[in-house]
Each structure stands twice: as C-alpha cells, then as structure tokens.
Amino acid sequence: MEHGGNVLKIGKEIGVGPHEIVDFSANINPFQIPDELMQVITQAQKNVSIYPDPEYYELRKALANYSSTEIERIVPGNGAAQIIHDVIKLINPEKTMLPVPTFSEYEAALKVTGSNVVHFKMEITNNFELNVGELIKHIDESFDLLVLCNPNNPTGNLIMKKEMEQILEKCQKVGCKVIVDEAFIEFVAASERFTMASEAERWNNLIVIRAFTKIFAIPGIRLGYGVHGCLALSNNHRKYAVPWSVNVFAESLKDYINSVEASVYIKKISETIKLEKEIMEERIKKMEAFTVFPSHANFLLIRLIDHEKYNVERVCSWLLKRRILIRNCNNFNGMPSRFFRVAVKKKEENDQLIDSLLYINNSILNNKQC
Amino acid sequence: MEHGGNVLKIGKEIGVGPHEIVDFSANINPFQIPDELMQVITQAQKNVSIYPDPEYYELRKALANYSSTEIERIVPGNGAAQIIHDVIKLINPEKTMLPVPTFSEYEAALKVTGSNVVHFKMEITNNFELNVGELIKHIDESFDLLVLCNPNNPTGNLIMKKEMEQILEKCQKVGCKVIVDEAFIEFVAASERFTMASEAERWNNLIVIRAFTKIFAIPGIRLGYGVHGCLALSNNHRKYAVPWSVNVFAESLKDYINSVEASVYIKKISETIKLEKEIMEERIKKMEAFTVFPSHANFLLIRLIDHEKYNVERVCSWLLKRRILIRNCNNFNGMPSRFFRVAVKKKEENDQLIDSLLYINNSILNNKQC
C-alpha cells in the first residue's frame, strides 16, 4: 500500500529534487517548523552519544501533560505507525470493525495479525459521515476491536464526543476495544471538545493514538504515542515496545510541546489552515468538474466528474508535469472511484493548485485536451 | 531486563547530570563522534519535514556497499533492537538454541514469541569460548533458530569464520536458521576476516544483524540493519517492517559510512581501543582481587575474587559514589556470580577506573572497608 508524501521517489522519477515538488499528497502542516522546536531539536544533537532513557519518563510526563491525562497511560513510540502496529499485535483481534474509507495502515497492520476485518462503509451520499446509529447496531460480541480515525483520513469527517461516548458504551458492553486515531486532531477548531485522550481514564476499552507528525510538520523525526484507557494494556504495551524506540531528537519534543510557544503555534496554524481551506473549498465548489467534500482536517477530498476521457490518473499526471503532487485515492479500501485528496498548504501554493484545477475544469467542460 | 548505559536514571538517583557520570556500563566508543558524521546529521535537519523514503533505497544501497553485499539483502530499522525483535517475530521459532551468557535482548525477544529456549553454556573454565564441536553435536532437526553474537557481549569472545561455516553447514542440514549479531564487529582487528555479512549470499539460513550504535557512539540516533542470506526472508522482513521506521537523522548515515573519513575513523578508533584495552588488562591482571577475561571487543569482563565481605554490588556502589558506572553482570542468564563488565574508554577515564579498582583490590587484600 502506497502512502502520500513520497516526494523522494516521485522526484527521482521526474528528475527533480524533493524540495522542487509542491506536495499536496502528504497531509502535513506546510508552514515552517516553529523556531523554538528547531532549537530544541538542534540542542538534542549533544545527546546522540547517550542512550535515551529506556523508561522515557520525562517524555511520557510531557505527553501526559499535553494530553491532559496520567503518565501511566502513555506509551511513546517510533511514530504513530509503530504504535498502530504494536497495539494491534498486542490486542491481536480475531474480528475487527473498520469504517472505510480510512487510513490504510490499519488494514495493513490487521493483515499482519490475520484479523478478520469487517468494513463498515461510510457512504458518499452521506458525505462520508459515520452513521453512528447503524454502526452501533452492527457492533456485537463477535467484535474484538473497532478502529475510528477522528478526524478521518481521507474524508475529513469528525465524530462528536457525544457520539463517541455512545460508541464506547456499546463497545464496552460487548467487550470490544476501540482505537481512536487522532493524528489530525490539532487541526480541528476547539479540538479539546473532540479529543478522547483526556477521557482515557473513563473508558477501559479505549486506546487513543496520536502523533506530532502533521501539526509540527516533522515526519522525519518519528514521534507517536498511545493513550490507554486500560492501565494493564498500557503496561503490557510498554513492556512489548522495543527498547529505545524513540530517538533523542523525537525525545527532545518533551521540552517544547507544553510551552506557551507551542500552544500559540498550534492555534495560529490551525486557524490559518482553516481559513485557507475555506478559500480553496469556495473556489473548487464553483468548478463543475469537481465535487469537494466538507472536511474538519487539513486536507480536502475531491471527486472528479464522470467523463469518459478524463480520470484521476490523468489529472494526477497532468499536475505532476507541473510539479504538483496530489493523492490519488483509488487504493483506499471502500473509496468510490474518481476521488483524490489534497492537503491545504500555503496561500500561494493553494492558488497554484486551484488555478491548475480550474484549467482542468475548463478543459473538461470544453472537452479539450489538458 | 536492565541494559547498561542508563546514565539518565542513575544520574537522577545520585543527583548529577548524565554527562557528569563516567559511564563504563555502555559499550560505546568513548571518542567524539566524527566531525564529518556530525555534519551529515546536522544537514539532515533540513529534511525533517519530508517523509523518509519508505523504500530507504539510498540508505540500503549504502549499507549494502558498506557490508560488501547486495541491496536486496538489506533491511534497515530503528536500531539493532528493532531488527532483533522483528526478525525473531518473523522466524517465530518453536525452539531456539542460545549460547549464554549473551546479550539479553535475544532472550527478551524470544520470550515475546513464546519460543522454547535451550541455553548452551559457555564455560568459565574455557574462558567463555564457544565449544563449537559440542554446539554442533547439540544442534538437531528440533531447532529452528540458533543465535550467535560475534564478538559476544558480555564475554568478548570471537568465533572464527571457519568455525562459523561449520556451524552454518550443520544448521543448514537440519533446517535451522542462524542469527549472527555483529554489533561490535568494527572493534575487532581485521574485522573483514570475521564478519559474515559479506558471506550472506552463500548461506540461505543466515541473518546478520548490525548497527552503528557502538562504533560511532550514536545510541540516540537509532540505526540498525539486517543482512539476509535468504532473499525471501529479506522481502518478508521489509514488508513486515513498520513504515518510516528509520528517522531522517539515522537515514543520513548513508552519506557518511562509505567515505574515506569513515574508514579512517573506524581503523583509528578500533586500534586505539585495542591498545587501551591491553593496558587495562595488564594492570588488572596484577590485581589479585580480580580476574580479567580475554576480549576481542571494546569491553572487558571481570570477576571479583570470592570474599564474604565484598560482592559486586558493593564494588558498583563504591564506584558510583565516585561517579563511575560499571555493568553488574548478575542479570545475564547463564553468567556465574561475581562478574562485572567495563567498557574501554579514553586513557584518562580508564586510569581513573583502574586506580579505583586498585584501591578496592588493596582494601580486599588488606580486608579493610572500601
């Protein structure tokens, strides 16, 4: 399964450096890493010759503080991907409910453990919103695990806390664990009203998975963490984790994430992205060749109009010739055809993308070559 | 299981910073990280906002070149610990032969998969040398895996290539895979005569595990890799590995490891350490309270004389009061009592340790308090 953001490979294929591609395929914050974070990372260089604390005590304390929960519930790891794979191996579910389309790494991790995966379709007719009532009806004693991404990738839909609690309650009754993936939660306005991390102690069947990759634009650093509702599972997870799985640069985030600067930065970025997203949405809505879907995250899901001469592959390759990389959604399980996803980037880059989409739109409407 | 090198935790306990402790407990090169490597790591900061290449093509090419093997055989990971755990999960051995005492992470990883572990004792009477003839006799069809650390930690003993080939041949006959852990191979003089990485294509049952942690003194960076004799297992390992498991700083080593500077550095460090080790050995040999064992690596295994008033815990705590940290070997499976391990460090630090050991030696011989 391919993910977005592979600018190294694609740059090589078209003969340009990774920094020369305008990458709308990876959903990461397009603004510069905060100066204070970069300073912390630079400082961490002096610790490369010391083994990281195997207990990651200070890091876990900082993550607990950041997530408004207790240190005992925190397990840090080598990016969210590591946490996803480890938690699924630990739970080792026989049968899993997976609302789709969603982030493909869950399907990949469930395949490794051989879980029977039941897809619960989020329907295009409902703007890919999760039908909570229907989902609850379908969850029964036969399920060991339910995975929810909130907000979801690639659809951008958000589950309200009240709905989340209904789901958790039903799952608790039938003995089903619930993973809530909050990789994009910081981009949601008033995210404290939606996160389940701070509710972990209330739900013994809850595991929240988070990362700083997206909000601080640091996919190269690798820091993810789990927040466990169940203290026994939290302990098992910590024992199961490979020693020194967090490198010193990732560990150094402990000195930044609870600072005033960090919270100011997150607020500013999420507001800026929200504004930019609205501008993009408005412009794309005016194009007949595209349908744009409502999104609470830092990306937009877009459908290309039915047309025998134009498909998403053609749109992708036309854009790539202009060094614009978008995410073809054809390999997302449960995703109807003709969809692609674009990250919200800086104004100038967004304009470049929108102008290109407008050109494609006009070509399609005029049935010209694009 | 505790490992060495936990200066953060121990520093906290005795109220000093990690840099104030003279750490003989972690077996890493005591000299400064090479300037050129530090430059490469600093340069990597500009890539933290880009996802690492999921295929790690350039990194794998560099590791293959460094190990005199083919790129298809290389799987990089988040430190050797990650490779150890992943490879053992993949092989999922029912029954494993583990010569002991050895690096404890193998036992830990085998416990996770529930393997039946048979310990093959390396005897103190034989200076902990592996009795290859006896080992070969004991390996039969019932074994799925044999683990050999070469040189071995904490004993420092080295298996000759000819012996290794005899072992591999017997194991191949009975369908037993062999992991050869070469975490310390760069410290061995003329290491190219001992490494099995360059022989991988000849042995379908061989997996070599290596890392740069020790030789470049970079435990905080996290870069390990596997070299597979079996291409199918290599492919499975790459598919099994969690995406983006190597961070950009670890990935940047690709631009250093095959340089002239790197090979000059490795040669210089290994020669310096060897010389220092010989000086330490000579001095400890003169102390009646200690027996030092021959070592091909960058550490020495030492036995404290039988004495009812003095045990290794007491030696450790006396040294720690002087901010010297050594590795008590009492939690190594198969290790007789009264052993400790010390890394070879810089001359001044080694002298400090040896002077302290001499003081303890004299106290014991004079039966005084130390």
Question: pLDDT tens digits for B207-240?
Answer: 999 999 999 999 999 999 999 999 999 999 999 9
| Position with higher pLDDT, B32 vs B48 | B48
Question: pLDDT tens digits for A312-349?
Answer: 999 999 999 999 999 999 999 999 999 999 999 999 99
Do residue A9 and residue B55 have CB atoms under 8 angstroms apart?
A: yes
pLDDT at A142 over 70: yes
pLDDT at B179 over 80: yes
pLDDT tier at B28, thresholds 50, 70, 90:
very high
Q: Clarify whether residues A310 and A243 are in a common domain.
A: no
Q: What is the pLDDT at residue A231?
A: 98
Exposure string for B76-109, b = 16+ CB within 10 A, e = fewer: bbbbbbbbbbbbbebbebeebbbbbbbbbbbbbb
The last residue of one of the domains, among B258, B289, B319, is B258
Q: Clarify whether residues B174 and B100 are in a common domain.
A: yes
Rounded to an integer, what distance in angstroms lies between the CA atom of residue B239 and that of residue B231? 12
Q: B103 CB near a chain A CB, below 8 Å? A: no
Q: A51 CB near a chain B CB, below 8 Å? A: yes
Q: Clarify whether residues B109 and B251 are in a common domain.
A: yes
pLDDT at B3 over 80: no
Q: A346 CB near a chain B CB, below 8 Å? A: no
B58: tokens are 């350039």
Assess whether the previous peptide bond of B336 is cis (omega < 30° from 0): no
What residue type is A257 in one-letter code?
I
Q: What is the pLDDT at residue A121?
A: 97
Domain tally, chain A: 2
Question: pLDDT tens digits for B82-92?
Answer: 999 999 999 99
CA of B287 to nearest chain A CA: how many angstroms apart?
A: 31
The last residue of one of the domains, among B258, B279, B313, is B258
Q: Clarify whether residues A53 and A159 are in a common domain.
A: yes
pLDDT at A1 over 60: no
Q: B222 CB near a chain A CB, below 8 Å? A: yes
**Measured between beta carbons, which residues in chain A are less than 8 angstroms from residue B48?**
33, 41, 217-221
Q: Clarify whether residues B50 and B194 are in a common domain.
A: yes
Let me know: does B48 contact A41? Beta carbons within 8 Å. Answer: yes
In a domain, B2, yes or no: no
User: In CATH, what number is assigned to the domain containing residue B276?
Assistant: 3.90.1150.10
CA of A205 to nearest chain B CA: how many angstroms apart?
A: 23
Mean pLDDT of chain A: 96
Q: What is the pLDDT at residue B2?
A: 67
Q: Clarify whether residues B213 and B245 are in a common domain.
A: yes
Q: Clarify whether residues A220 and A286 are in a common domain.
A: no
pLDDT tier at A10, thresholds 50, 70, 90:
confident
Mean local confidence (pLDDT), B63-79: 98
Rounded to an integer, what distance in angstroms lies between the CA atom of residue A228 and that of residue A232? 9
Q: What is the pLDDT at residue A19?
A: 84
Q: Clarify whether residues B249 and B306 are in a common domain.
A: no
The last residue of one of the domains, among A211, A243, A258, is A258
Q: What is the pLDDT at residue B203?
A: 98
Question: pLDDT tens digits for B124-159?
Answer: 999 999 999 999 999 999 999 999 999 999 999 999
Interface test with B, best of A1, A7, A8, A89 (most B CBs within 10 A): A8
Q: Clarify whether residues B106 and B219 are in a common domain.
A: yes
Rounded to an integer, what distance in angstroms lies between the CA atom of residue A291 and that of residue B40? 45
Residues 11-40 of B with CB under 8 A from A: 18-19, 26, 28, 33, 38
Q: Clarify whether residues B281 and B193 are in a common domain.
A: no
In a domain, B347, yes or no: yes
Q: Clarify whether residues B230 and B104 are in a common domain.
A: yes
ipTM of predicted complex: 0.94
**Domain span holding position B284:** 7-30+264-365
Question: pLDDT tens digits for B245-293?
Answer: 999 999 999 999 999 999 999 999 999 999 999 999 999 999 999 999 9
Q: B54 CB near a chain A CB, below 8 Å? A: yes
Question: pLDDT tens digits for A292-319?
Answer: 999 999 999 999 999 999 999 999 999 9
Rounded to an integer, what distance in angstroms lies between the CA atom of residue A64 and that of residue A71? 5
Q: Among B53, B222, B243, whose Cβ lies nearest the Cβ of A247?
A: B222
CA of B121 to nearest chain A CA: how many angstroms apart?
A: 26
In a domain, B232, yes or no: yes
